[in-house]
Amino acid sequence: MKKNTILTENKLRFSRAPYPWFLVKDVLFAAMVAFLSNVSLVSAGVSVNTGDVQPKNVTANEGDQSVAVSTPVNEQAATSNNDLASLNAGVTSVDVTASAEGLQANNINEGSEFGGLFATANEPIEPIMPSDHHSTQLMMGGGPIAVANMVAPRANYNEDHSYVVGYQTNKQGKNVVIVGPWSQALDNDAIAIGKLSKAQGVGSIAIGSGVTTDNGSTAYSYAFGTNSIALGVLTQAMRDNAVAIGTNTMARGNHSLAVGGKSVAMADEASALGYRAVAVTSTSVALGSNSFSDKAAGIAGFSPLLKGAATNTGFAWKSTLSAVSVGNVPNGKTRQITGVAAGTELSDAANVAQLKSLQIYVDKGWKLSAGGANATAVSIDNTVDLAAGNDNLKITKGNQDNKVKFDLAQDITLNSVKAGSNTFNANGLVISNGPQITTAGINAGNKKITGLEKGIEGTDAVNKAQLDESLNNISKKVDFTSSFAILYDKNSDYNSSVNYNSVTLGKKDSGPVALHNVKDGEISQQSHDAINGRQINKISQDVAKYFGGGAAFNNGAFTEPYYKLSKVSKEGKVENTLFNDVGSAFAGLDTNIKNVNDRIKDISQGVAQDSLLWDEAEGAFIAKHGRGALKTNSKIKNVEDGLLSAGSTEAVNGSQLYFVSNVLSSYLGGGAGYKDGKLITPTFKIAQFNVDGSGGNEKSYSNVASAFTGINTSFTNLNQEIIDVKNSILVTQDEGINLFQIVSGGRLRLNKKMGVVSIGKGTGGTEISILNNDSAKRIISGVEAGRLSEDSTDAVNGAQLYSIGKTVATYFGGSAGYNEKGEWSAPSFKIKSFKNDGSVVEASHNSVAAAFEDVGASFTNIKNEIKKDITNVKDDSLVKWDEVTKLIKIGSEKDGNKITLANSQSKSRTLSGVKDAEQNDEAVNKGQLDKGLEKLSKEIQSDNSSVILYDKKEDDSPDYSEDDSPDYSRVTFGKGKGSAPVALHNVADGKIAKGSHDAV
């Protein structure tokens, strides 16, 4: 009868084993793994002697319903050139009593098809060939056994002692075992057995099967951590020493354990045992199916005495590891824990028997008696009612704490209390031959109160020693020059009595002190209240409104009024004059009235005949002189320099224009200036027109004055051209509406249809001249401010030129600018020059270039002087670094026993960076010296003190932190900056004058 080396599953189902079938399979599988791990595979042409390697013997006995694994005697192997001649496995016995047959394999012989068959000692097993789906079928016992996903029956035993069997396996470590298709062992000593099993950590074991989904993704039976174990389908052991056993089981923490389908151990040392058991926190334990444990360590237990969390932090009251759960309370799943013995230690679990015993003890209750008599048993459910005999005693029970309190009534009804000869009644306490405390008052009976302890609390009585000590300390600290207290003045330096009529803020001869947080004082004839800045500011702003003229009061300073009035001189000249006070403004108006009156008289006497008069026909002031038809145009000469200001419309003369242009070209930089006696200026191109209208060619000018002269010539020529053509209309609006009409005499009259004025648009020419018939120059007045831009061709007026000059003067500094008469003052830069010999000479420069040239020379001389001094100091210095001792030595090469740090004027210097002294001969620093001086009176410096203190100094940091030194320039009333304002009464009249800092 053919014997089978492997029992099929359907036969083992009838073996009546006392263990579940899956446990039997696990044991048999473990035996097979152990057997394979001890067998050396032999390939063709190789002779291997296994020595004393002893394979295991597996016996399934029906009598005791068990499976036994025994140790064989010996195993030997030998081969020939191409065929495995013989394999002596010693005595390898497999006894399966359930089938009443014994199987013993002594020799296994293989021919040329060793890769496709197995043989027993007596009968060969029929050859087997790989199937198309990577599985191998073993034909034995009348029925096949399928070993799925096997690539080939021949194993690959590598030189690094690894065992690899399977289709498309992945081996990356040494000493690994791989069995199954697509299985992977990715580190040393890893074992991967089963389809899609993956052992990635060192020494990790993955036994089971993975899954390839329909969408092509792959899920492995995965052992990721070092020494981790994953057993089952889709199991995952993801951390070091983690163990996961079951289907879809996951161990995700170091040293974690998950056993059972879909169980999860998520944290380090967590354990989940049972189907869908979950252990969330470190060291937590979930026992049983669907159990859930997420309570971390450090949770205080319930205290019956406290009716809440225990305050005892011992391990018996407060957990040191995470919780053990046998259910899932949030989901309503609980279990009873049965078979629990009575606990003995503080941390042992108590069973119901112990609780029942406690119930019996509690039910015995306690006994209550009064005065040792009439004892009565009181059980836990009984009520004890305490009552007082009269209203002098009150008995109460707290609603929250259940405490019983025995209190005397607030009003005790007693007629009298006697203690010897002393009486206490409704009139009070009367001590015979001693003090009396009665309704009439307290009489000490001419007795001292002695033996009084020093008071501690705020309401304690103080003794004389405390009072003397406090008064002495306060007196010293208040009189201390660095005290925060404000004191009344003394009558004199020789009379230390208090002058209650005078308070001086700050130290003697110190600067004025700011008084902050002053409440609004009363403003009346009899008031002596201090007035604060807000009140003064309001009064000053009201006064400024009455002045007008731009007068204002802001930030503690007046902005003087600005009255711009015309000033009429005796000669009739009118100038814009500024007045900054009402008195001078009215005085100026009075002078104007007088001068105008005198001028009217002069005109009435015929002076007007030689004046520039208004011509009604011309509609303008004319400067023609002569008689009748002989009147000719005339120049206006000797024109006084006009005012150059932002709002000026005064005429400026040619010298003013030339002067400004000349000065600006000298100081603007960028190539402008004089060089080698020649003027270097920007080039201005001006179109020139002849008298006959021809021309239009551009002409370059090297300064503004000559450019305007060219413009003036063009205007004169254009004006003459207009006179010549007479009725020819050359000046029109852009849209063709005549703005001027030529009438008799060649004059231009304004057309009431206003618009843009075009000059000479209807004819050729590039030059306009406004010279009169005597070729004299004219002034163009009333010119609107032209546009200032890179492509602008607008004419500019005197105000614009003044503004530019003023701005440039501001940039120059050095007192450059225009005075009130419009005269330009060149800048003067005073530079201290350092010479080669180290001397200092102050020199003035009228140009920026010259000033910077002088500064550069000074820097060179200073650098040379410093270099020379450093060389001299290095040789002559008494302060030197000692490389041997690593110390800075002063005067070690000289005699003497004294060092002075005084300067050349014998004034003291500060020696900083001094470390705290440790030896007797070391210098101490100020920090050490100040340690004994840091204590000041806390009572005086507190917010509740009655003493007014100086503010503490603030630093410049963003949090405005304060130090402890007084700021003698500021005093804040009240309890700090956020407190309510404080009224300051009985303030003497302060001096109101320039420089006064008295309070008003």
Three-class SS of residue 228?
Answer: coil
For the chain, what percent of residues have pLDDT higher than 90? 15
The tally of CA atoms less than 13 A away on the side-chain side of residue 117 is 15
Distance from C-alpha of 204 to C-alpha of 185, rounded to nearest angstrom: 9
Given a cut of 90, whether residue 78 has pLDDT beyond it is no
Given a cut of 80, whether residue 762 has pLDDT beyond it is no
Given a cut of 60, whether residue 480 has pLDDT beyond it is no
pLDDT at 855: 58
| Cα 501 → chain centroid | 53
Given a cut of 70, whether residue 824 has pLDDT beyond it is no
What backbone torsions phi and psi does residue 140 show, to the nearest 5 degrees? -160, 150
Indicate the range of 274-278, 448-452, 665-669, 931-935 predicted with least confidence. Answer: 931-935
- Beta-bridged to residue 574, according to DSSP, are 568
Question: pLDDT grade, residue 482 (50/70/90)?
Answer: low
Given a cut of 80, whether residue 258 has pLDDT beyond it is yes
Question: pLDDT grade, residue 675 (50/70/90)?
Answer: very low
pLDDT at 445: 60
Q: Which tokens hold the place of 489?
A: 């003045």
Range among 240-249, 301-310, 677-686, 858-867 rated most confident: 240-249
pLDDT at 460: 66
Three-class SS of residue 416?
Answer: strand
Given a cut of 50, whether residue 418 has pLDDT beyond it is yes
Q: Answer yes or no: are the C-beta atoms of 950 and 971 closer than 8 Å.
A: yes
pLDDT at 194: 94
Indicate the range of 45-49, 253-257, 670-674, 761-765 predicted with least confidence. Answer: 45-49
Look at residues 115, 109, 105 and name the one whose alpha carbon lies nearest to residue 43. 115
Three-class SS of residue 865?
Answer: helix
Region 623-633: mean pLDDT is: 67
Given a cut of 80, whether residue 147 has pLDDT beyond it is no
- Beta-bridged to residue 490, according to DSSP, are 498
Given a cut of 60, whether residue 13 has pLDDT beyond it is no
pLDDT at 867: 52
Surface-to-core class of residue 235, CB atoms within 10 Å of its CB (0-12 exposed, 13-18 middle, 19+ buried):
buried
Region 222-244: mean pLDDT is: 96
Indicate the range of 153-167, 425-439, 587-601 predicted with least confidence. Answer: 587-601
Indicate the range of 47-51, 283-287, 592-596 predicted with least confidence. Answer: 47-51
pTM value surpassing 0.75: no
* CB contact set of 995 (below 8 Å; sequence gap of 6+): none
- Pick 491 or 626 by higher pLDDT: 491
Range among 134-148, 227-241, 520-534, 865-879 rated most confident: 227-241
Helix, strand, coil percentages, rounded to 5, for the chain? 20, 25, 55
- Pick 648 or 761 by higher pLDDT: 648
Given a cut of 50, whether residue 39 has pLDDT beyond it is no
- Beta-bridged to residue 230, according to DSSP, are 206, 244
Given a cut of 90, whether residue 805 has pLDDT beyond it is no
pLDDT at 834: 61
Three-class SS of residue 740?
Answer: strand
Region 535-540: mean pLDDT is: 78
Question: pLDDT grade, residue 903 (50/70/90)?
Answer: confident
- Write the pLDDT tens digit of every residue in 462-474: 666 766 677 677 6
Three-class SS of residue 248?
Answer: coil
Distance from C-alpha of 219 to C-alpha of 250, rounded to nearest angstrom: 13
pLDDT at 225: 95
Distance from C-alpha of 178 to C-alpha of 150, rounded to nearest angstrom: 11
Q: Answer yes or no: are the C-beta atoms of 514 and 971 closer than 8 Å.
A: yes
Given a cut of 50, whether residue 202 has pLDDT beyond it is yes
| CATH code of the domain occupying 388-447 | 2.20.70.140
Given a cut of 60, whether residue 434 has pLDDT beyond it is yes
Question: pLDDT grade, residue 809 (50/70/90)?
Answer: low
Q: Which tokens hold the place of 342?
A: 């009575």
Region 901-922: mean pLDDT is: 65
pLDDT at 242: 97
Q: Which tokens hold the place of 197?
A: 């099993």
Averaged pLDDT score across all residues of the chain: 67
Indicate the range of 800-814, 902-916, 935-949 predicted with least confidence. Answer: 935-949
- Pick 746 or 811 by higher pLDDT: 811
- Helix H segments across 132-206? none
pLDDT at 177: 94
Look at residues 998, 964, 937, 990 and name the one whose alpha carbon lies nearest to residue 505. 998
- Give me the helix-helix angle, 704-725 and 654-667, nearest 10°: 140
Given a cut of 70, whether residue 706 has pLDDT beyond it is no
Given a cut of 90, whether residue 278 has pLDDT beyond it is yes
- Pick 884 or 955 by higher pLDDT: 884
Question: pLDDT grade, residue 20 (50/70/90)?
Answer: very low
Distance from C-alpha of 393 to C-alpha of 389, rounded to nearest angstrom: 8
Given a cut of 70, whether residue 659 has pLDDT beyond it is no
Given a cut of 90, whether residue 990 has pLDDT beyond it is no
What count of other Cβ atoms lies within 10 Å of the Cβ of residue 365?
A: 14
Q: Which tokens hold the place of 923?
A: 């210098």
Given a cut of 50, whether residue 580 has pLDDT beyond it is yes
Region 429-441: mean pLDDT is: 72
Given a cut of 90, whether residue 250 has pLDDT beyond it is yes
Q: Computed from CA positions of residues 940, 945, 948, 950, in that sequence, does the dihedral angle turn out positive or negative?
A: positive
Given a cut of 90, whether residue 778 has pLDDT beyond it is no
Question: pLDDT grade, residue 833 (50/70/90)?
Answer: low
Region 30-49: mean pLDDT is: 39
For the chain, what percent of residues have pLDDT higher than 70? 47
- For tokens 């209190």, the residue is 407
Distance from C-alpha of 366 to C-alpha of 924, rounded to nearest angstrom: 74
pLDDT at 407: 79
Q: What is the CA radius of gyration of the chain?
A: 59
pLDDT at 567: 76
> DSSP states of 937-969 as a string?
-HHHHSTT-SS-BEEEEE-SSTT--EEEEEEEE
pLDDT at 447: 59
Question: pLDDT grade, residue 104 (50/70/90)?
Answer: very low
pLDDT at 305: 85
Distance from C-alpha of 688 to C-alpha of 998, rounded to nearest angstrom: 72
- Pick 696 or 987 by higher pLDDT: 987
Region 33-50: mean pLDDT is: 38
Range among 10-24, 431-445, 512-526, 827-841 rated most confident: 512-526
pLDDT at 271: 97
What is the H or E stretch that residue 541 is in?
helix 533-547
Torsion of CA 690, 693, 695, 697, to 10 degrees: 100
Q: Which tokens hold the place of 406?
A: 């025995």
* CB contact set of 34 (below 8 Å; sequence gap of 6+): 56, 69
Region 44-59: mean pLDDT is: 37
Question: pLDDT grade, residue 423 (50/70/90)?
Answer: confident
pLDDT at 685: 56
pLDDT at 191: 96
Look at residues 746, 745, 752, 744 and name the one whose alpha carbon lies nearest to residue 730. 746
